[in-house]
């Protein structure tokens, strides 16, 4: 006697959530899916996702450094920098999302967790405590320099490999906003009096 086919609806349903589930990964980090209809060979996508993950780790670190500076800034320029740091944080947060989505689009796996980011980033780790404003600004500028240097190298490499999408992302969405943020930060390190002109100007 032939067996009765099992219906997909024959399983008993329940409103009870199924907690503590686990399973093996469906894709390992550092790999790309095969046969993507992107007209980019697998070795190119592997190289680009590796480079983009490095850029992502550094950008996440810069983003979080802005939030740390936003919380801990002090002194006569507190209000202006408190707002500026948070504005830059939000802009970097958008950049993070764009880089991560580009990695996934290329068939890769984007780095995500804080401990993995800490292992990969090339940006110097900041102390837990509060630093003076000039040090905060210098630390942010140093982090930007790491990213901007990488952007220039990566955009050229992507262009050479024919990955126009990655080239456009790196230049338009990472490099140019970063250059603008560097300008805003740098102007706060110009030595100008806040409340009094220089003595030699008063006596002139």
Helices (H), 73-175: 78-105, 114-120, 133-161, 164-168
pLDDT (0 to 100) of residue 2: 63
Q: Could you give the CA distance from residue 69 to residue 140 in angstroms, rounded to a whole number?
A: 9
Look up the CATH number of domain 42-189: 1.20.1260.10
Q: Which residues of the chain have a pLDDT value below 70?
A: 1-11, 194-204
Q: Could you give the CA distance from residue 169 to residue 166 in angstroms, rounded to a whole number?
A: 5
Neighbours of 124 (CB within 10 A): 11
Q: Are 140 and 62 in contact (CB under 8 A)?
A: yes
Per-position DSSP letters for 21-48, written without gaps between them: -----SS-TT---S--TTS--HHHHHHH
């Amino acid at each position: 006697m032939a067996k009765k086919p099992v219906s997909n609806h024959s399983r008993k349903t329940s409103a009870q959530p199924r907690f503590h589930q686990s399973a093996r990964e469906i894709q390992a980090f550092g790999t790309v899916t095969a046969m993507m209809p992107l007209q980019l060979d697998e070795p190119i996508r592997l190289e680009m996702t590796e480079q983009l993950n490095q850029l992502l780790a550094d950008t996440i670190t810069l983003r979080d450094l802005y939030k740390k500076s936003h919380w801990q800034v002090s002194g006569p320029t507190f209000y202006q920098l408190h707002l500026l740091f948070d504005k830059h944080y939000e802009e970097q947060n958008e950049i993070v999302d764009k880089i991560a989505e580009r990695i996934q689009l290329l068939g890769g796996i984007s780095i995500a967790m804080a401990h993995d980011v800490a292992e990969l980033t090339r940006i110097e780790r900041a102390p837990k405590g509060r630093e003076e404003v000039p040090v905060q600004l210098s630390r942010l500028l140093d982090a930007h320099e790491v990213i901007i240097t990488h952007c220039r190298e990566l955009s050229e490499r992507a262009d050479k490999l024919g990955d126009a999408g990655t080239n456009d992302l790196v230049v338009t969405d990472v490099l140019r906003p970063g250059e603008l943020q560097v300008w805003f930060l740098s102007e706060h390190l110009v030595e100008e009096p806040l409340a009094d002109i220089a003595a030699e100007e008063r006596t002139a």
